[in-house]
Structure 1
Amino acid sequence: MTFCTTPDWRHPLCRLVLAACCLGGTAAHAAGVSFINVPAGPDGPALRGAVWSPCSATAERLVLAPLVIEGTRDCPVNGTQLPLVLVSHGSGGSALGHHDTAAALADAGYVVAAINHPGDSFQDANRQGHLSAFATRPVDMKRLADYMLGTWPQRAQLDAGKVGFFGYSRGGYTGLVALGAVPDWTLRPDLCPPLSTRPLCGEIRRNEIPATPAPDPRIRAAVIVDPLSVFDAKGLGKVSTPVQLWASELGGDGVTLPSVQAARDGLPQPPDWHVAAAAGHFAFLAPCSPALADAAPDICRDAPGFDRAAFHQAFNAQVVGFFQRHLQRTDASAD
């Protein structure tokens, strides 16, 4: 392996640490997989997405070309008072982009809900280059939480007091805003070189910045992965929720290690910090099927020597462990 998830990520004992993390989690359930439609409303259009949940059946291989995921389609949800984790994908991504992490959480007893962000997904990119896409993303996630806790047919099996958030890239930005962060688009001039014609760059220059949505106080813990960060200590000053923060060493797609480090340093409470050594930005997406690797080589190609499948075993174990500490063990008797 050429990666480490501990803060001292170049230490020669990293492999031993990762091995211990991987051995620490055992799957108690299979992952059920179903698909949801959140109706359109005053706050936005309809949202399409997927839900992973604990399931007593054996997992199967589901081919959703070009993706191949493991799970049992429409399996009855197994359990009560289950924690809920909301997932926000990156720019141009989809609800299925982190399906292996979602399945790992479902195996550990979580319900995981993800949606395609309107205007900024693989199906609909009409606002991808505008700041409005950043303004509506946190609203999308609030609407998803409202649906899961208030309308989803199995809502009685959820614990509304145990809501977590997983966000990657722009989804990491989304998660920080949902926790109360306020962006400052002037902090990242590297995103908008002087001759850039990207619409959002013109909006920044003209100070046409959309209002920042209100935070969602229901979120009790958040895993923020390689976020597109436009935050400093001032903007992060009201974030009090526990955060596990991940960065890729090599970055990409507008995300840099220094910018994520700046978010780490700006958080009022030190996050559970991890750097994935020798990893590029897209290494946090689920390992690619051969069909997806052919269709989207840019997001499936990793640096020489980097093993995405092995990395995800350790990554998923760390994500599950973080939520176990901050969502599952909330009572006074927890050890």
Structure 2
Amino acid sequence: MPHRISPRSPLHTSLLNLAALLLSALLASTAQANVAWRELPARGEDGPVTVFYPSETAEQAQRFGPFGELRLAAEGEPAPARGNGRLVLISHGSGGGPWGHAQLAQALVRAGFVVAVPWHRADNFRDPSRPGPDSWKLRPAEMSRAIDAVAADAGMAHFALDLERVGAYGMSAGGHTVLSLAGGRWSAGGFKRHCDTHLAEDFQFCVGLITRLNGGGLDGLKQWAARRVLAWRFADDTPQTHEDPRIRAVVAAVPAAADFELDSLVQPRIPLALLTARQDAWLHPQWHSDAVLQRCRQAPRQPCEQLADLPQGGHGAYLAPLPAGLDGLLGDLLNDPPGFDRNQLAEIDARVVGFFQKHLLQP
């Protein structure tokens, strides 16, 4: 006969109390912080830094230009008890800004991270005047100074951030930024040599949004003009590197990478993960993300990871939210190809969160 516990026994009461404690702990662990944002002011020649952080302030729907409506708490009260003491930087793509990565920022904040997005100088949607190698030279140091800006801000001091264990995520030109932070070495001359060899096949990487090849009679003239500009502006072989020991793990999404010396990424300085997309027509995987993966997977001690590979994803697959109403060349390069399902991005964001939890929170 099974042993029965009397409803009024001390053991029964203890079990009820234990169950209540466990339920309380479970509810506390699953309750998520609201996501607040504010903009740290520009410092010197650097632009502002947008920060996302845990808050108890109620979120409200706001519109952010072409990125549509997002639910965030503007200037919300910091909730340090909801934080995990770690900072993740995001490097936006060429002509971008923080709002194209807001859903990833929200996922990171709900997991306890503080997120900081520097507005890269002269290569954001407010001022897109100097994209490409001119911007790539500046971006890694701007990421380092974004850490300094967070450290100097009184509001962020509530979170007691360990700024010796920082993560960094970057997409497109932002992916180029974080590859540099992972130990990658590149040069303007390397950019030119790649484009000399693969100009027609990788045309948008080499010329940006100025024009495109369309199979018409002017394609030859476009390529001739592009080669002239490349020879005039990008002959410098000075290696470009940047190291910040505070940055301990990076994720590169559809990165610009064809100008890197791939030997510099055989052994990444820090854990490196990539997000790739098979239908990327701006940065063709074979010369960019796939080339990095093939080389860094040879690393004996610090192998890189591929967190996601989207068979139907285009270059804008990891922008979330994706700007609405894009047309022309930019629309062709960023809009989702037929058959792409954006519902999978929540799972991919969770993988990015897990990668940073593994490498920033664990000893």
Match of 2:182 in 1: 179
How high is the TM-score relative to the length of structure 1?
0.80
The residue identity in structure 2 corresponding to 1:55 is S
Give distance in 1, aligned partners of 2:139 and 2:349: 24
Match of 1:294 in 2: 325
Give distance in 2, aligned partners of 1:199 and 1:121: 26
Give distance in 2, aligned partners of 1:198 and 1:156: 52
Which deviations, in whole Å up to 9, do the C-alpha atoms of 1:261-315 show, x marking residues without a partner?
1101222232221211210010110133xxx41256446631112122x021111
Compared with structure 1, are the counterparts of its residues 234 and 124 closer, same or farther at alpha carbon in structure 2 (3 Å cutoff)?
A: same
State whether structure 2 residue 270 is matched by structure 1 residue 241: yes
State whether structure 2 residue 304 is matched by structure 1 residue 271: yes
- 8 Å CA contact 1:251–1:257 kept in 2: the answer is no
The residue identity in structure 1 corresponding to 2:34 is A
How high is the TM-score relative to the length of structure 2?
0.74
104, 108, 118: which one pairs with 2:107?
104
- 8 Å CA contact 1:247–1:257 kept in 2: the answer is no
189, 195, 209: which one pairs with 2:224?
195
Compared with structure 1, are the counterparts of its residues 210 and 90 closer, same or farther at alpha carbon in structure 2 (3 Å cutoff)?
A: farther
Match of 1:252 in 2: 281
Other structure's SS at 1:66 match? helix
136, 142, 145: which one pairs with 2:144?
142
Give distance in 2, aligned partners of 1:132 and 1:123: 17
- 8 Å CA contact 2:280–2:315 kept in 1: the answer is yes
* Higher mean displacement: 145-154 or 240-249: 145-154
- 8 Å CA contact 2:184–2:262 kept in 1: the answer is no
Compared with structure 1, are the counterparts of its residues 75 and 265 closer, same or farther at alpha carbon in structure 2 (3 Å cutoff)?
A: same
Shift of 1:199: 8.1
Shift of 1:259: 2.5
Which deviations, in whole Å up to 9, do the C-alpha atoms of 1:309-329 show, x marking residues without a partner?
x02111111111111111122
Shift of 1:255: 3.8
Query: For residues 146-165 of structure 1, what are the structure 2 equivalents within 5 Å?
Result: 146-151=148-153, 153-155=155-157, 157=159, 158-165=161-168
Match of 1:223 in 2: 251
- 8 Å CA contact 1:105–1:112 kept in 2: the answer is yes
Give distance in 1, aligned partners of 2:348 and 2:54: 20
Compared with structure 1, are the counterparts of its residues 200 and 319 closer, same or farther at alpha carbon in structure 2 (3 Å cutoff)?
A: farther
Give distance in 2, aligned partners of 1:257 and 1:74: 43
Match of 2:71 in 1: 70
The residue identity in structure 2 corresponding to 1:286 is A
Ranges of 4+ aligned residues in structure 1 off by more than 6 Å: none
State whether structure 2 residue 121 is matched by structure 1 residue 87: no
Compared with structure 1, are the counterparts of its residues 263 and 27 closer, same or farther at alpha carbon in structure 2 (3 Å cutoff)?
A: farther
Instruction: Please identify the structure whose Cα radius of gyration is greater.
Output: 2
Q: What percent of counterpart residues are identical?
A: 29
Other structure's SS at 1:113 match? strand
Q: Which runs of 5+ in 1 are unaligned?
A: 1-24, 331-335
- 8 Å CA contact 1:85–1:165 kept in 2: the answer is yes
Compared with structure 1, are the counterparts of its residues 210 and 203 closer, same or farther at alpha carbon in structure 2 (3 Å cutoff)?
A: farther
Match of 2:131 in 1: 128
The residue identity in structure 2 corresponding to 1:177 is S
Shift of 1:26: 5.6
- 8 Å CA contact 1:50–1:96 kept in 2: the answer is no
Match of 2:21 in 1: none
Shift of 1:73: 1.1
Compared with structure 1, are the counterparts of its residues 126 and 325 closer, same or farther at alpha carbon in structure 2 (3 Å cutoff)?
A: same
Instruction: For CA contacts below 8 A with separation 6 or more, give which structure has more relative contact order.
Output: 1
* Higher mean displacement: 293-302 or 113-122: 293-302
* Higher mean displacement: 107-116 or 183-192: 183-192
- 8 Å CA contact 1:29–1:55 kept in 2: the answer is yes
Shift of 1:162: 2.3
Give distance in 2, aligned partners of 1:226 and 1:64: 24
Other structure's SS at 1:133 match? helix
Match of 2:349 in 1: 316
* Higher mean displacement: 72-81 or 187-196: 187-196
- 8 Å CA contact 2:78–2:155 kept in 1: the answer is no
* Higher mean displacement: 161-170 or 269-278: 269-278
Match of 1:305 in 2: 339
Match of 2:16 in 1: none
* Higher mean displacement: 77-86 or 93-102: 77-86
- What's the C-alpha RMSD, in Å, of the aligned pairs? 2.5
Compared with structure 1, are the counterparts of its residues 300 and 172 closer, same or farther at alpha carbon in structure 2 (3 Å cutoff)?
A: closer
State whether structure 2 residue 72 is matched by structure 1 residue 38: no
The residue identity in structure 1 corresponding to 2:155 is P
Q: Which runs of 5+ in 2 are unaligned?
A: 1-28, 207-221
Give distance in 2, aligned partners of 1:238 and 1:38: 35
